[in-house]
A and B are shown apart, each in its own frame.
Chain A
Amino acid sequence: MNLFTVDGISLQFGGLKAVDNVSFSVSKGEIFTIIGPNGAGKTSIFNLISRLYDPTSGKLFFEGRDITEVPPHQVARLGIARTFQNIELFENATMLANLLVGRHCHATTQMWQEMLFLPSVRRAEKDHRRKVEEVIEFLDLQAYRDKLIAGLPYGVRKVIEVARALCSEPKLILLDEPSSGLNVEETDDMSFWIRDIRSELGITVLMVEHDMTLVNRVSDRVLALNYGKVLASGTPSEVQAHPDVIAAYLGA
């Protein structure tokens, strides 16, 4: 069953076609990777999915529902969470606060109740905290609960961003270059986590990645892009053997 479908989507900035008529679909429980040289339009596709950009044409479907017109803040509520290539954490807040923001789409309390901190707010807060703790446990982040993000190393921030996305209990998680800036050990950990996210939490993974070792280890299917166009799609080995992909990376 297709969890998520991109149907002929295009994004144009003036005369530049960042994404040109791209179609693909992601099945439930799959790890789907988008690869491509720099500027191929990978992150643009992510920004289209999380509705930061409006597509010039084409449609997005999530669980059979057209989400092309959904406002960006409702995407999370539908069950799509994302991370960012250059880390967009809330720097001057603690890790716990960051992860709790990830629970925002599940917030049930009204502002006036929160001002008085009624028992219902306290109960909701504890429920959020319990969920957050599950994620902390899952990604081994116990040491950083009360640390400010601004003081944490890059590798840890990268994991925290994944954690924040997981806190919203998504059905589909978008990972934008989960291994960029990580060292070999951290990349190793990341590849295990990505597989665990799929197999233990049952979350479908859509990621953009440059590290081909990681791609080969975790992906079920790969889509190769260049200049906004689809070059090839299929299993990692098929895509890597595809002549157009080799040409795009190495020059023909």
Chain B
Amino acid sequence: MRFVFKTDYDQDIRILKHSGYWWSYGVLLAVLVAAPFLLGSYLQSQLVFVFIYAIVGVALMILTGFTGQASLGHAAFLAIGAYTAGFLQSHGVPFIVYFPTAAVLTGVVGALVGFPALRLTGIYLVIATIAFAFIVEEVLARWESVTHGNEGMRVRTLDLVGVPVPRDSASFYFLCLLVLVGTVLLALNLLRSPTGRAFVAIRDSETAGKSMGIDLAAYKVKSFAISAAITGMAGVLFAHKMTFISPEMFTLLLSIEFIMVIIIGGAFGVHGAILGAIFMVMIDPFLTALKDDVPVLAASVASSFGMAQDAATLLQDKLSKIGSAAGLKGAIYGLIIMMFILFEPYGLYGRWLKVKLFFQLFPLYKRATFKRQKTYVKSERNR
């Protein structure tokens, strides 16, 4: 176990607290830089999706994890970013202009959503953001002169100051990695300065925040705006990765996926957004494989245990029918969320910290270290 001897206030301000972190994050960055040269195109493409989900995850982490304002409307912010990119690109605007424009535009929309959110908390805020997402979805479907409606919209290859960056290229991978790293740094910078602390204060006690001089309205709107702007940037990358965007890609299920990113990752640190993104992107091919393989496997196991051939075939049919049933994905997602909230409320990052502490303290780790307790000192009266 390492004991950091602090002699300077800078040591508490630094993002990487000691040399050990320089090593581990340096190696991680080196691996990520080397990845496109080592991995096949499928895994590289999956990693790009991880980056895009992680960018949205960081955005949602700022809003939900740190400011405590839940949102099920982030698919809409992603859509606004994506459509801004698609529309401006088709009118000959270069990437270096429409990328920031998409961020600013989405940020402004986010701020507008933030205003009604000032008076809403908890479940009511969630409903308001869902309503917003439906409105955006509907607008995208109806505003045909800009969005081409339900037909969808082609997004041409990204053109970075004259250099084409195709969706499957290593350069697109690096662009996404760069945006992700930038976003993470931006979030961490906010967190170590007054604005970030104000966000956390709003999450933990609005009353105390108010009496410490925090303008709740201003900071909630700021949080919404930043979160939306970052999601808008992810939307631009998303549009170029998909090459085709249509309203039915930005549904409630996508918003739920984003919320899952931070719940599964652990909604208390930026690490959680990244881990959650990895989980969410990788669960999809896993579920597909499960859907294809489980019926066959079950049938062969059943027949080897003496089930008649036709009965085994029937079982296989039944199982594959269940596997391809509509809405099964949503149900499984719901189950995963419930499992995490019940058994791993601090998510994957929380589990990682626990495992790390176990090895740091070995053999002195006590099982009760992370036992959850009820506390009764919190007052709800001034809410």
Contact = CB atoms under 8 A, between A and B. Distances in A.
B194 interface: yes
Given A86-B377, A101-B201, A114 B12 contact: no
A100 B197 contact: yes
B118 interface: no
A173 to B, nearest CB: 12
A47 B381 CA distance: 11
A40 interface: no
Given A114-B193, A116-B189, A154-B377, A88 B205 contact: yes
Interface size class of A (residues with CB under 8 A): 35 or more
Nearest to A167: B212
Nearest to A128: B194
B204 A87 contact: no
A91 to B, nearest CB: 5
Chain B interface helix/strand/loop/mixed:
helix
Contact of B212 (A102, A114, A126, A129): A102
B216 A73 contact: yes
B211 A114 contact: no
Contact of B211 (A52, A91, A130): A52
Contacts of B381: 86
A164 B186 CA distance: 27
Interface string B215-254: 1100000100010000000000000000000000000000
B375 interface: yes
Contacts of B196: 114
A239 to B, nearest CB: 28
A77 interface: yes
B316 to A, nearest CB: 49
Nearest to B382: A52
A96 B12 CA distance: 10
A82 B211 contact: yes
B12 A104 contact: no
A92 B213 contact: no
A204 interface: no
B49 interface: no
Contacts of A129: 9, 12
A117 B208 contact: no
Interface size class of B (residues with CB under 8 A): 35 or more
B198 interface: yes
Contact of B208 (A47, A84, A126): A84
Among A82, A84, A150, the most chain B Cβ lie within 10 Å of the Cβ of A84
A242 interface: no
A79 to B, nearest CB: 11
B207 A52 contact: yes
Contact of B200 (A73, A82, A92): A92
Given A73-B213, A154-B377, A114 B190 contact: yes
Contact of A88 (B10, B203, B214, B379): B379
Nearest to B209: A101
B378 interface: yes
Nearest to A103: B194
A143 to B, nearest CB: 14
Interface in B353-383: 375, 377-379, 381-382
A77 B213 CA distance: 6
Given A114-B195, A117-B189, A125-B192, A105 B213 contact: yes
A74 B192 contact: no
A125 B196 CA distance: 13
B311 interface: no
B268 interface: yes
Nearest to A149: B204
Contacts of A82: 211
Contacts of A38: none
Interface string A77-101: 1000110111111111100110011
Given A73-B214, A88-B379, A168-B212, A114 B204 contact: no
Contacts of B226: 111
Nearest to B188: A117
B210 interface: yes
A122 interface: yes
A157 interface: yes
Interface string B319-359: 00000000000000000000000000000000000000000
B13 interface: yes
Contacts of B197: 93, 97, 100-101, 104
Interface in B9-47: 9-10, 12-13
B203 to A, nearest CB: 8
Given A87-B379, A115-B186, 19 more contacts: A71-B215, A73-B214, A88-B207, A90-B203, A91-B378, A92-B203, A92-B268, A104-B194, A104-B212, A105-B213, A114-B189, A114-B195, A114-B196, A115-B190, A116-B186, A117-B189, A121-B193, A125-B9, A125-B192
16 contacts: A50-B210, A52-B210, A72-B210, A73-B215, A76-B212, A84-B379, A86-B377, A90-B200, A93-B197, A101-B201, A104-B197, A114-B194, A115-B190, A117-B192, A121-B193, A154-B377
What 5 A-B pairs come out closest when comparing CB atoms? A105-B213, A76-B213, A86-B379, A88-B208, A114-B193
